[in-house]
Amino acid sequence: MESESNSRVHFLLIPLLAPGHTIPMIDIAKLLARRPNVVVTIVTTPVNAARYGPNLQPHIDSGLPVRFMELPFPAAEAGLPARIESADSLPGLHLLPNFSLAVDMLQQRLEQRFESIEPRPSCILSDRYMIWTADTAVKYGIPRIIFDGMNCFKQLCTHNMYLSNVLDGLSDSDPFILPGLPDRIEITKAQLPQEFNYSDLATRDQLERVRETESTAYGIVINSFEELEQEYVNEFKKVKNGKVWCLGPLSLTNNNESGKSVRGNGKSTNEQRIVEWLDLKEPGSVIYACFGSSSRVIPQQLIELGLGLEASNRPFIWVIRAGDRATEIEEWITKTGFEERTKDQGLLIRDWAPQLLILSHPSVSGFLTHCGWNSVLEGVCAGVPLVTWPLFAEQFLNEKLVVEVLGVGVAVGAPRVVHWGMEDKFGVTVRSEQVSNAIRKVMDVGIEGNERRRKVKALGRVAESAIEEGGSSYKNLTLLIEDIREVAKRH
Ligand code: UDP
Question: Which numbered atom of ligand 1 lies nearest the CA of 321?
Answer: 8
Q: Give the span between the Cα atoms of 207 and 195, in whole angstroms.
A: 7
Q: What is the pLDDT of residue 31?
A: 97
Report which protein residue has its CA nearest ligand 1's atom 17.
Answer: 20
Give yes or no for a contact between 185 and 154, defined as CB atoms under 8 angstroms apart. Answer: no
Question: Which numbered atom of ligand 1 lies nearest the CA of 352?
Answer: 8
Residue 246 is classified by DSSP as E
Q: What is the pLDDT of residue 327?
A: 94
Q: How far is the CA of 87 from the centre of ligand 1 (A)?
A: 13
Q: Can you state the angle between helices 432-443 and 299-311, rounded to 10 degrees?
A: 40
Q: What is the pLDDT of residue 237?
A: 98
Pocket test for ligand 1, best of 129, 293, 347 (most atoms within 8 A of CB): 293
> 257: Cβ–Cβ under 8 A, 6 or more apart, which residues?
357
Give yes or no for a contact between 156 and 235, defined as CB atoms under 8 angstroms apart. Answer: yes
Q: What is the pLDDT of residue 264?
A: 84
Q: Give the span between the Cα atoms of 435 and 239, in whole angstroms.
A: 38
Give yes or no for a contact between 291 and 321, defined as CB atoms under 8 angstroms apart. Answer: yes
Strands 364-369 and 316-319: unpaired
For the chain, the first-to-last Cα distance in angstroms comes to 27
Residues lining ligand 1, judged by CB closer than 6 Å? 19-20, 23, 263-264, 290, 292-294, 319, 352-353, 355, 372-375, 378
Amino acid at 20: G
Question: Which numbered atom of ligand 1 lies nearest the CA of 351?
Answer: 8
Query: Does residue 226 sit in helix, strand or coil?
Result: helix
Q: What is the pLDDT of residue 367?
A: 98
Report which protein residue has its CA nearest ligand 1's atom 11.
Answer: 355
Give the closest residue to 236 by CA, choosing from 193, 182, 186: 182
Q: Give the span between the Cα atoms of 375 and 364, in whole angstroms.
A: 15
Q: How far is the CA of 374 from the centre of ligand 1 (A)?
A: 6
Q: What is the pLDDT of residue 266?
A: 64
Q: Over its length of 491 residues, how does the chain's per-residue pLDDT go in tens digits? A: 444 456 899 999 999 999 999 999 999 999 999 999 999 999 999 999 999 999 999 999 999 999 999 999 999 999 999 999 999 999 888 899 999 999 999 999 999 999 999 999 999 999 999 999 999 999 999 999 999 899 999 999 999 999 999 999 999 999 999 999 999 999 999 999 988 987 766 677 888 899 999 999 999 999 999 999 999 999 999 999 999 999 999 999 998 887 888 888 866 568 899 999 999 999 999 999 999 998 989 999 999 999 999 999 999 999 999 888 899 999 999 999 999 999 999 999 998 999 999 999 999 999 999 999 999 999 999 999 999 999 999 999 999 999 999 999 999 999 999 988 889 899 999 999 999 999 999 999 899 999 999 999 999 999 999 999 999 999 999 999 999 999 998 87
Q: What is the pLDDT of residue 422?
A: 86
- C-beta neighbour count of 62 within 10 angstroms: 8
Q: Give the span between the Cα atoms of 187 and 184, in whole angstroms.
A: 10
Q: Give the span between the Cα atoms of 248 and 78, in whole angstroms.
A: 36
Q: What is the CA radius of gyration of the chain?
A: 22
Q: How far is the CA of 196 from the centre of ligand 1 (A)?
A: 25
Ramachandran sector of residue 214 (left: φ over 0; alpha: ψ -120 to 50; beta: rest) = alpha
- C-beta neighbour count of 249 within 10 angstroms: 26
